[in-house]
Amino acid sequence: MELLEQTIQRIEDLDAEMMVNAQLRVNHLIKPAKSLGKLEDLAVRLAGITRQLYAPIDKKAVIVMAADHGVYEEGISSNPQEVTLNQTLAFPQGLTGVCAIANVSGAKVVTVDIGIKGDIPRDAGVMIKKIKYGTDNLATGPAMTRDEAIKALEVGIEMANEEVKNGTNLLGTGEMGIGNTTPSTAILAVLGECDPLEITGIGAGVGEGGIVHKAAVIRKAIEVNQPNRADGIDVLAKVGGLDIAGMAGVMLGAAANRIPVVIDGYISSVATLIAVSIEPKVREYLIPSHFSTEPGARKASELLGVEPMLHMDMCLGEGSGAALAFPIIDAACQMMKQMATFAEVGMEL
């Protein structure tokens, strides 16, 4: 709890003066006004985050939180639960979707076992930060204790701090966990005050009972646990997941270090809702990457008040959308550094 509280206290507002300076430069670059659209807005916000006119973005990492979910017992997924462990082992080998996409921009992928049901070999290239062997079944009781939820948040903070210490200046969030769209949708239903059926999707593969059964399980979980909507940590503990908590912690840690963090799709967006409920200032440090095809993705974005940059019909997770957005962020930085102003080339406005 101490690390979480210290981290929250370190999160500050963006540097307004630097953003004004950045906007002035953008306005005077040799181009028609607003002609680079969202790249201009992004460059200004990066200046506010980093407190530097030319944001230093040259070392990137996606942190993937891997965990299992006790609600799998309810038949909400068509995939074997062992896929979580097996897929996690594939990340260090560079064989997964996010690894292929991250390679385009030279980003590394850091994989964390925060709650896989089985044991990962110590030499597998995965960071072992296990809180427990998967959450408990949220349909019958809390997914985890409040203390476990806080510890999982702090794992994310620790991972962000470690990456910053190693020189990383742009982070992305990712996850791996069979069944994790179920707790994500439960969190969203609570925070968004909506019926689970409206926002429940197939995830990586829905069980035999289909979406109706999956939504019923989520509805039951909310009824059984009665999470307090005004307390993000309570919601996380009662109907959330360890992977979701870890990602929220990464966001908190990144904000405390004034590092921009790119959020992936649906599950990352739900983790963002938790992070923002803990400290609202985190929102300004987050860059949404893409609209997931999961039904709840739009609702999550609306609650966050953000519009993701990309519409790619993706729903892989893993941090794949975040990695895909990295080159766009590079472009915003290069626009600021490389383009000249009218004054610099002796042209009159």
Site of tokens 């799998």: 72
CA neighbours within 13 Å on the CB side: how many for 45?
A: 18
What does DSSP assign to residue 267?
H
The per-residue b/e assignment along 99-127, b for 16 or more CB within 10 angstroms, e otherwise, is: bebbeebebbbbbbbbbbbeebeeebebb
Report DSSP letters for 167-215, one per residue: T--EEEEEEE-TTTHHHHHHHHHHHHT--HHHH---TT-B-TTHHHHHH
**136 burial via Cβ count (<10 Å: 0-12, 13-18, 19+):** middle
Whether the Cβ atoms of residue 166 and residue 259 lie closer than 8 Å to each other: no
Whether the Cβ atoms of residue 141 and residue 32 lie closer than 8 Å to each other: no
Euclidean distance between CA atoms 35 and 147, whole angstroms: 49
158 is an active site residue: no
**Catalytic choice (208, 318, 344, 348):** 318
Whether the Cβ atoms of residue 115 and residue 97 lie closer than 8 Å to each other: no
The per-residue b/e assignment along 255-277, b for 16 or more CB within 10 angstroms, e otherwise, is: bbbbbbbbbbbbbbbbbbbbbbb
Which positions are catalytic?
318
